[in-house]
A and B are shown apart, each in its own frame.
Chain A
Amino acid sequence: MLVLSRRRDESIMIGDNVEITVVEVRGDVVKLGVRAPREVPVHRKEIYMTIQEENIAAARASAQDISKALEAVRQKTAAPPKPRDTKAEEPDKN
């Protein structure tokens, strides 16, 4: 692994388009700023890894799994829940 020493406000470049800047250093917490093109996904590693593991587990689903799931839903309720009118909110903040 390449190890580089950087001070606050200093950056490294990865390729031509990805820039990582040390924004703040406080105790054992380092705040990093990442500037990358939209098509380069950036995630905290542990969250990314958990989602990846979950996706891999999900991808092993067998064709019968939906029937199993339906059966479980029906056991819990008299009928599958009805669709609601509301949608997930996605306020365009930022």
Chain B
Amino acid sequence: MLKSGAEASFRNPRLEFDAAETQLLCFLRRRKHLTVYHTSRFGELTVDEDRDVIVIPEGVIGFAERKRYVLLEDPDQQPFMWLQSLEEPALAFVTVDPLLFFPDYQVQVPKDDVALLEIEKPEDARVLVIVVVREEASKITANLKGPIVLNPQNRRGKQVVLMDDRYQTQHPLLAQLPETQEI
């Protein structure tokens, strides 16, 4: 269990139970390759190493050494998702499916990147863009110049730099939303 020595010494009365619990959790973790990661925003995350981990071999630009992430998709926070680093507890990006906000958005993934991600069909790829929430919440921007392209099959990803001049790093997220929307 991930407990500091100091904390454990206060827990002596539960030592037996903790040992059993630890054994059980170790067994479950071995079976499913579960690992607990500490994050600065969300506390401890239990990650299934075989199913949850997204590898970005080249890192996110500016964070080249950070290659392993998980995507936190909380239904209450849809459509926003956190891309959380597993190597740096404080590193996480707010991301969103760009098509919800920019229906005409087109991502042309260079051939080399298609090969790197082993994408077989374009429709298999999942595209996310990184969002910056500014002081004034209405001025949220999305980086359409550098989308994160993921292959959900092998959980590989890359921040692709688009050559397309229509796209910049700071597109107002809410600009294209209709004022009212029928439910």
Contacts and interface: CB of A to CB of B under 8 A. Distances in A.
Which among A51, A56, A70 has the greatest number of chain B C-beta atoms within 10 A? A51
Interface string A12-27: 0000000000000000
A66 B63 CA distance: 22
A56 B130 CA distance: 11
A51 B145 contact: yes
Contact of B177 (A50, A70, A81, A91): A81
A84 interface: yes
Nearest to A80: B79
Which range contains the number of B residues in contact with the other chain?
35 or more
Nearest to B126: A87
Contacts, number: 161
B180 A77 contact: yes
Contacts of B115: 38
B63 A63 contact: no
Given A59-B93, A72-B138, A72-B140, A51 B161 contact: yes
Interface in B83-127: 91-94, 97-101, 103, 105-112, 114-116, 119, 122-123, 125, 127
A71 B133 CA distance: 11
B41 A63 contact: yes
B157 interface: no
B132 A58 contact: yes
A90 B131 contact: no
B169 A50 contact: yes
A29 interface: no
B98 A72 contact: no
A56 B64 CA distance: 12
A53 B143 CA distance: 11
B contact patch SS: loop
Interface residues of A, number: 47
B174 A76 contact: yes
B11 to A, nearest CB: 28
Given A78-B182, A87-B127, A92-B122, 17 more contacts: A39-B58, A41-B58, A41-B61, A48-B161, A51-B62, A54-B132, A54-B146, A54-B170, A55-B93, A69-B131, A69-B173, A72-B140, A73-B177, A77-B177, A77-B178, A84-B100, A86-B103
6 shortest A-B CB distances, which residue pairs?
A90-B122, A52-B62, A65-B133, A72-B137, A94-B111, A88-B107
13 contacts: A47-B161, A50-B145, A51-B61, A54-B143, A54-B145, A55-B60, A59-B92, A72-B140, A77-B179, A80-B78, A86-B103, A87-B123, A92-B111
